[in-house]
Amino acid sequence: MIYCRDCGARHSDKAKACPKCGYVEYDLTKSTVIYLLLLWFIGLIGAHRFYAGKTGSAIVMLILTCTIVGMLITCVWWLIDLIYAICNLGHPENIFAKK
Ligand SMILES: [Zn+2]
């Protein structure tokens, strides 16, 4: 059990969001600015996804980029991640939400 950082209610640490107020738990040590910088410069190898703790999809992205055909997919994927990151610059809970 953990305490909600927003309203203080006790809830399961397995819950994605607080059942009382809807607050989404996320890693406070992570920064959306660093996420965006990693995405912008080395995003094609999944660097930003490794940073956000999404290791599974980060490895998929890394392997895809190593292949010519896969890189076409990661280019589109990268663009989607970029738009998402820019839209959520002020909402780290959407990017770093615990699974
Ligand atoms: Zn709450």
Sign of CA pseudo-dihedral 2, 13, 81, 45? positive
Q: Give the tens place of pLDDT for each residue, 20-65.
A: 999 988 888 999 999 999 999 999 999 999 999 999 999 999 999 9
Domain map (residue ranges) of the chain: 29-96
Residue 10 CA to ligand 1 centre (angstroms)? 8
Q: Tokens standing for 81?
A: 């991640």
pTM score = 0.84
Residue 1 CA to ligand 1 centre (angstroms)? 13
Q: Which residues contact 81 (CB under 8 A, 6 or more apart)?
A: 39, 43, 48, 49
DSSP secondary structure code for residue 53 in this structure: T
Residue 58's CB: how many other CB atoms inside 10 A?
Answer: 18
The residue among 69 and 25 whose pLDDT is bigger is 69
